[in-house]
Amino acid sequence: MVQFLLSKGADPNMHDYFNGQSPVVLASSAYGEDIEILRLLLKYGGDPNDCVSDSDSVTYMRSIETPLICAASDNIEKVELLIKAGADVNLAIEPGYPPLHNAIIGNRANIVRYLLIEQNADFHQVYTVTIQGDTLDFEDLLSKSMMERVENTAKELPYIYKYLEQFK
């Protein structure tokens, strides 16, 4: 069905009027269980750096998500596909919330490692601004988020910390 609609001219970058999301953003998120749909959307011109603007949403809720930010907390295959299609590994709609942040918060150590080491994602920026205005740097966020879930991160953390050592 998706391929049929796209072949007949459906716009993979059209934003819905409720929350302003595009099919590419939805297919990149956990809701998009079938990676082939994301592959088709990108093949037919879907923007891997798509984002929601205030005018795209009647709810006026500004989204902080790009396709890569969505995929970073979900699935390494989606992340790789989006980057091959031109997704910017450092694109953050809101300061402090790039794809690397979502990979950490989503406990996806394999994606953190991929973005950081293989794609050279910028980790020198501020991450997570709290309600009180506090900020965390990359290592603080990494240790606070991932160390709590050791079984999922034990094999990836040594590589990540070894990589970070060269910048000290």
Q: Where are the domains of the chain?
A: 1-88, 89-168
Cα gap 41→137, rounded to integer Å:
35
Residue 156's pLDDT band (cuts 50, 70, 90): confident
Q: Specify whether domain 89-168 bears CATH 1.25.40.
A: yes
| Distance separating alpha carbons of residues 161 and 168, to the nearest angstrom | 11
pLDDT at 139 over 60: yes
Same-fold call for 1-88 versus 89-168: yes
- Is the pLDDT at 61 greater than 60, yes or no? no
How does residue 138 score in pLDDT terms, banded at 50, 70 and 90?
Answer: confident
DSSP code for 127: E
- Measured CA to CA, the distance from residue 45 to residue 25 in angstroms comes to 13
pTM of the model: 0.81
User: In sequence order, what E strands does the chain have?
Assistant: 127-129, 135-136
Q: Six-digit token pair at 27? A: 């297919």
Over residues 78-120, the pLDDT tens digits come to 999 999 999 999 998 777 788 988 888 888 889 999 999 999 9
For 5-56, how does the pLDDT look when each residue is reduced to its tens digit (9 = 90+)?
A: 999 999 999 988 777 788 999 999 888 788 999 999 999 999 999 987 555 5
Whether residue 148 is predicted with pLDDT greater than 60 in this model: the reply is no
Arch. (CATH architecture) of 1-88:
Alpha Horseshoe (1.25)
Nearest to 44 by CA among 24, 68, 28: 24
Residue 57 neighbours by CB under 8 Å, 6+ apart: 15, 17, 18, 19, 20, 63
